[in-house]
Chain A
Amino acid sequence: MLAHRIIPCLDCDLEKPGGRVVKGIKFKKIRYTGLPWELAERYYKEGADEIVFLDITASAEKRTTMVEVVKKTCQKVFIPITVGGGIRSVEDAQRLFRAGADKISINTAAIQNPKLVKKLSKTFGSQAVVVAIDAKSRGNWFECSIYGGRKFTGVDAILWAKKVAELGAGEILLTSMDRDGTKEGFDLELTKRISKSVFIPVIASGGAGKKEHFLEAFTKGKADATLAASLFHFREIKISELKRYLKEKVINVR
């Protein structure tokens, strides 16, 4: 049976030497936690199912490139690697795939130019294209935001999820902006609604604070995978422990 996945996410500030991993809270405040490839290797050894790198550098003057981060990571980490942040073209994606990335994740560029999703999935295959959706609750609907949560689009997250699935996206990386960094648990309503609207895997993100949150994201939220950052970075929960817990609760994990 296909296992539910646990994915640590590494937000990288490429302006810092080595492309330091940072942790944002509610898309704003920032703390530094370590070098991307070192953290990635630690997670690989602890049983992470995949690694996600997000380039959260706001400016264009980057000291380290994501290509370098990926190349370094791939020498020692033998699980899939997804890269997101700032990818705007087939060429951008190509560079990352050549460096060893398995999937790329796009948000802003997809909303601004939906054809890019189609182009990327035609060129690299659906399995290599993740569309990230950063959604905020507006009462009875969810609004998509872009530019790392700095701009709202008026786009309905559920309709958008269906649209990107049609365009050839292979997965949806769904972040609840309301829950991100709060440790109050994943947004189960949002996750379930998206998961039931599309026939591609959904990765739930934003709000993980304890083991139970991962369990309910799978059982109630119908997520195929769950993603978290600070919990793992600060060793509040070890991936190996989390998996042991989920196995006890009869969730199929590796």
Chain B
Amino acid sequence: MITIIDYGMGNLLSIENAFRYFGAKVKITAQPEEIEKAKKLVFPGVGNFAEAIKNLKRKKIDLAIKNSIQKGTPFLGICLGFQLLFEKSEEAPKIKGLSIFQGKVSRLKKVKIPQIGWNQLKIQKKSKILKGLKGGSFVYFMHSFYPKPIDKKIIIAKTNYGIDFCSSIESKNIFGVQFHPEKSGKVGLKILKNFVEI
């Protein structure tokens, strides 16, 4: 069972459809208890960093997420859900992120913003979540910000857009991707399947 965290930020139906497409069972919830009990968690999100943190706090989901991660529940952050795992963001300088990882989220510079479209993964090391993917695989991005982890060892893929930025991380039970696997065709479905099979 995959539990998708609903905190009012974006298109959950697409993620749900993608998991269901290959037969995974999916539950969508905004309940902290459900999140703490979950077998596997998906943390999606599009929109604004500050707005997202505000919603998480209001629904008291922030603590539930931290507890689950600490317990070792496999956890996949997507796009804004990936960025929220860091300490802070240039999008909302006064707001504290979930701070699971050290580092901040920066704005893309000297390129057309948002980055919209298909870009390639430069795979940095072996990982569970990108298992079976070729280097250079295309995935779909829609974002203006990207995280800069202090601990470079967690970076499993980078993508070039003006600079080489961190587009995927993996650290024990925690996975994060800046792109949208649910919108990345076969490659994206493979990543979600990898997560289901972890």
- Identify the A interface with B (CB < 8 A): 1-3, 5, 44, 49, 71, 74-76, 78-80, 97-102, 122-128, 170-171, 199-201, 224-225, 254
Contact = CB atoms under 8 A, between A and B. Distances in A.
A99 B160 contact: no
B58 interface: no
Interface residues of B, number: 36
B17 interface: yes
A2 B117 contact: yes
Interface in B66-120: 112-120
B140 interface: yes
Contacts of B144: 126-127
Given A102-B11, A170-B116, A3 B138 contact: yes
A128 B189 CA distance: 22
B185 A78 contact: yes
Given A124-B46, A224-B117, A254-B138, A78 B11 contact: no
Nearest to B110: A199
9 contacts: A1-B119, A75-B17, A79-B184, A102-B142, A122-B48, A170-B116, A170-B142, A199-B113, A254-B118
A62 to B, nearest CB: 21
B14 interface: yes
B52 to A, nearest CB: 11
Given A3-B117, A78-B21, A200-B113, A127 B13 contact: no
Interface in B111-143: 112-120, 138, 140-143
